[in-house]
């Protein structure tokens, strides 16, 4: 059996379609790993995770464009960084970031390190949700 360009093209097309269909089917079932703050380490840098925590403090950057939330889940405490674009997205939903103080929230973000401290950068404005007041 000889493989012609036409047969090779058909095989590539069918394989691509099967892969795309598989991605469409399985992508909604992929969830972000939920962790506790005490379990966050340097090996998790650039990994997207979800934490359930309470916002203890809200501080604004000197430029007034970013926010630094101190969050605690009972196992540890860390900074949650909200940059200008995420802050604008949250505020466009008629919420003030300062209203998150003392609220139980669910946050999804990427783990980073700054000045030898582990931090989490919020993924998007929709990645911070109040779960209980």
pLDDT in tens, 3-43: 788 899 999 999 999 999 988 887 766 678 899 999 999 99
Q: Do 79 and 121 reside in the same domain of the chain? A: yes
Q: Torsions phi, psi of 49, nearest 5? A: -135, 165
**Structure token pair of residue 108:** 């999804």
Q: Are residues 101 and 69 in the same domain?
A: yes
- One domain, residues 12 and 66: no
pLDDT (tens digit, 9 = 90+) per residue, 78-131? Answer: 999 999 989 888 888 888 888 899 999 999 999 999 998 999 999 988 888 888
Q: Are residues 45 and 107 in the same domain?
A: yes
CATH of the domain at 75: 2.40.50.140
According to DSSP, the β-strands at 33-34 and 48-60 are: parallel
pTM, two decimal places: 0.73
Q: Say if CB 77 and CB 56 are below 8 A apart.
A: yes
- Cα–Cα distances (Å) from 127 to 39, 49, 69, 80, 131, in that order, read 20, 11, 14, 11, 12
Residue ranges making up the domain that contains 15 = 1-30
CB neighbours of residue 120 within 10 Å: 26
């Amino acid at each position: 059996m000889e493989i012609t360009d036409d047969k090779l093209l058909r095989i590539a097309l069918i394989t691509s379609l099967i892969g795309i269909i598989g991605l469409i089917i399985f992508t909604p079932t992929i969830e972000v790993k939920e962790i506790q703050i005490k379990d966050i380490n340097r090996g998790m840098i650039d990994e997207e995770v979800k934490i359930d925590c309470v916002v203890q403090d809200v501080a604004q950057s000197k430029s007034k464009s970013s926010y630094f939330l101190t969050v605690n889940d009972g196992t540890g405490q860390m900074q949650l960084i909200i940059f200008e674009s995420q802050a604008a997205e949250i505020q466009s939903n008629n919420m003030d970031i300062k209203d998150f103080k003392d609220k139980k929230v669910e946050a999804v973000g990427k783990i980073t390190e700054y000045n030898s401290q582990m931090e989490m950068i919020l993924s998007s404005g929709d990645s911070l949700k109040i779960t209980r007041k």
